[in-house]
Amino acid sequence: MSAVLASAPETAQPLLSVRSLSVRYQAGRNGFWARPRMINALQDISFDLYPGETLGLVGESGSGKTTTGRAVLRRIDTSDGRIVFNGRDITNVKGEELRKLRRNMQLVFQDPYASLNPRMRVLDIVAEPLIVHGLVRNVDEARDQVGELMRLVNLPRDAHDRFPHAFSGGQRQRIGIARALALKPEFIVADEPVSALDVSVRAQVVNLLQDLQKELGLSYLFIAHDLSVVRHISHRVAILYSGRMVEIASRDSLYERPMHPYTEALLSAVPVPDPKTQRARKRIVYKGEVPDVANPPVGCHFHTRCPIATERCSLQVPILTKKAPDHWVACWNR
């Protein structure tokens, strides 16, 4: 797919440009000498991310949203396609060069409990990126910088010498964000950063991420399974289904005029915390389940559950095409 995916600032250079990205996994071997079974986790994903922008990446389990995040960060190898970051092709970057690249792209994890080493003090955790990149010689030298990072994420300065278990989920997620910011990256992949948090602290973290974006000009790839959080933080939103991108559009266009039947279902499935609205809403509940990634259907992966599927859908893979300004959909019938 060679089409350039449009975005709001047409003239600006994209910070991250992904073209026809595919990832194949080894799904274990049956024996020592046997050829590994391959699973297509991701097929033909393309998108651009501009400086200061948030792209929401939404999908259910097995949709490939986490794989996309990890592939873009070069945590997993790509099988096909190109990843260009800051004008530089990083698709095959390895070793020391990849390590240096980490200064520009970071990850915020889903689980704030498991992503901090329980045996390290907060100071050691946040200072570690500075140390391993040789920016400071030891932890004590990093103290001031870490203090500044703590201020940035609204953590008390005296948090330095405590261990992660002394903090609540929301505070831990702030520590994780401070660690990701330590190297002053331009681009952050946020992999479901609030879904493991309690409802009352989710808003804190979402607001923090928005403030940081304004203050530091960060670009986010915001991965979520929940369309309601994504709406608040994203400028554009992409929907993944079973390893393929089915729709990508500017936020308002997507939420007000969803075009792919899967996006419609996803939107209508999100419960609204208001009984009257909830009762009044037309709910689209589709039969069936997400297909097995190891054995997806031929043609459009959604056609087995789709109400408007035609014969063509079960034969040919629909291509992502522009249906409206800044609105791309992969569906034969829309």
Binders in 271-300 for other proteins, by CB under 8 A:
271-279, 283, 285-286, 289-290
Residues 159/73, Cβ–Cβ less than 8 Å = no
Should residue 267 be labelled a site residue for other proteins when binding is judged by CB under 8 A?
A: yes
Should residue 207 be labelled a site residue for other proteins when binding is judged by CB under 8 A?
A: yes
CA 292 to chain centre: 21
Should residue 138 be labelled a site residue for other proteins when binding is judged by CB under 8 A?
A: no
Cβ proximity to other proteins, 67 vs 110, nearer residue: 110
Cβ proximity to other proteins, 99 vs 312, nearer residue: 99
Residue 42 beta carbon to other proteins: minimum distance, rounded to whole angstroms: 18
Residues 226/195, Cβ–Cβ less than 8 Å = yes
Across the strands, what pairs with 102?
none
In the sheet that holds 54-58, the strands lie side by side as 105-108, 187-191, 219-224, 54-58, 236-241, 244-250, 327-329, 321-324
Structure tokens that stand for 268 in this block:
């209508």
Residues 109/69, Cβ–Cβ less than 8 Å = no
Should residue 132 be labelled a site residue for other proteins when binding is judged by CB under 8 A?
A: yes
Residues 249/236, Cβ–Cβ less than 8 Å = yes
Should residue 80 be labelled a site residue for other proteins when binding is judged by CB under 8 A?
A: no
Cβ proximity to other proteins, 87 vs 119, nearer residue: 119
Interacting positions 163-182 with other proteins (CB under 8 A): 163, 166-171, 176, 179-180, 182
Structure tokens that stand for 151 in this block:
């201020």
Distance CA 71, CA 246 (A): 19
Distance CA 61, CA 146 (A): 35
Residue 202 beta carbon to other proteins: minimum distance, rounded to whole angstroms: 7
Cβ proximity to other proteins, 19 vs 235, nearer residue: 235
Residue 3 beta carbon to other proteins: minimum distance, rounded to whole angstroms: 29
Question: Binding pattern to other proteins, positions 84-103, x when CB under 8 A?
Answer: ---------------xx-xx
First-last CA distance in the chain: 19
Residue 228 beta carbon to other proteins: minimum distance, rounded to whole angstroms: 4
Residue 69 beta carbon to other proteins: minimum distance, rounded to whole angstroms: 11
Interacting positions 26-65 with other proteins (CB under 8 A): 32, 60-61
Stretch that binds other proteins, among 85-93, 141-149, 158-166, 293-301 (CB under 8 A): 158-166
Compute how many residues bind other proteins; rule: CB under 8 A. Answer: 79
Kind and range of the H or E run holding 246: strand 244-250
Residue 321 beta carbon to other proteins: minimum distance, rounded to whole angstroms: 24
Looking at residue 62, the DSSP 8-state letter turns out to be T
Should residue 264 be labelled a site residue for other proteins when binding is judged by CB under 8 A?
A: no
Residues 81/21, Cβ–Cβ less than 8 Å = yes
Should residue 115 be labelled a site residue for other proteins when binding is judged by CB under 8 A?
A: yes
